[in-house]
């Protein structure tokens, strides 16, 4: 493991700090994958679990989400610190390097886990394919939400054409493609921002 910890100076709550230490012990006890439900994880970490009281459940779930974001941000550090290229020169595959990157994350107190809805929401250590699927799903959700917002603005334009068109012509926080689309110059379901999610899904 590299000595430098890119997230060492970032402060977190006492609960998160203690939980991270405990979950690292659990990962060490289950080489390869943890394959545990959130209730089993909380039990091993001695955290009160009651499905009728969701306070701690939400805290643990929130920590996992936060750490997945940290993991995404630490990929660049992994490359900058030279570890990626070192492992690549050793002949390791990209999937194997991702597993090593996951190990570095754990050493940096970043917990790279996800829950699988097709496996009763049991938690597993992230693999490269699952990490990519998770990002792709998020992109599609954002794309769908973005289109819904655009449709809402277009509906408003149809109901209040004079005033909304005035606003659309001076709008500054949206891309030009969106302004064209709202003003009727763009193509339905065509290029620009509308098809972002679809493009990522197909590409």
**3 state DSSP class of 6:** coil
Residue 166, pLDDT score: 80
Q: How far apart are CA 75 and CA 131, in angstroms?
A: 12
- pLDDT given at position 93: 93
Q: CB-hemisphere CA count at 13 Å for 129?
A: 1
pLDDT value of position 187:
46
Q: Kindly give the parts of the chain with pLDDT less than 50.
A: 186-203
Residue 181's pLDDT is what?
A: 64
Within 13 Å, how many C-alpha atoms sit on residue 187's CB side?
Answer: 5
CB 189 within 8 A of CB 195: yes
Whole-structure pTM value: 0.66
Residue 68 CA, distance from chain mean position: 6
> For the chain, first and last CA: distance in Å?
35
Number of CB atoms found within 10 A of residue 200's CB = 15
pLDDT of 173 reads: 62
Q: Which of 9, 185, 2, 203 is nearest to 106 (CA)?
A: 2
Is residue 200 within 8 A of residue 139, CB to CB? The reply is yes
Q: Spell out the residues 6+ positions from residue 12 whose beta carbon is closer than 8 angstroms to its own.
A: 20
For the record, the structure tokens of 58 come out as: 């939400």
pLDDT of residue 178: 66
What's the pLDDT score for residue 160? 87
Residues β-bridged to residue 132: none
């Amino acid at each position: 493991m590299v000595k430098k910890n890119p997230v060492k100076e970032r402060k977190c709550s006492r609960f998160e700090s203690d939980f991270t230490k405990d979950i690292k012990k659990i990962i060490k006890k289950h080489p390869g994958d943890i394959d545990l439900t959130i209730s089993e994880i909380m039990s091993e970490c001695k955290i009160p679990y009651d499905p009728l009281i969701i306070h701690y459940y939400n805290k643990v779930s929130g920590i996992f989400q936060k750490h997945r974001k940290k993991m995404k941000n630490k990929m660049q550090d992994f490359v900058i610190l030279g570890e990626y290229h070192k492992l690549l020169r050793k002949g390791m595959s990209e999937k194997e390097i991702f597993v090593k990157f996951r190990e570095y994350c754990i050493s940096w107190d970043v917990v790279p886990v996800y829950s699988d809805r097709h496996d009763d929401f049991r938690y597993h250590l992230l693999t490269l394919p699952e990490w990519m699927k998770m990002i792709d799903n998020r992109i599609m959700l954002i794309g769908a939400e973005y289109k819904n917002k655009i449709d809402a603005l277009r509906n408003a334009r149809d109901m209040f054409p004079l005033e909304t068109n005035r606003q659309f012509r001076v709008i500054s926080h949206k891309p030009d493609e969106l302004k064209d689309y709202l003003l009727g110059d763009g193509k339905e379901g065509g290029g620009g921002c509308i098809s972002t999610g679809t493009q990522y899904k197909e590409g």
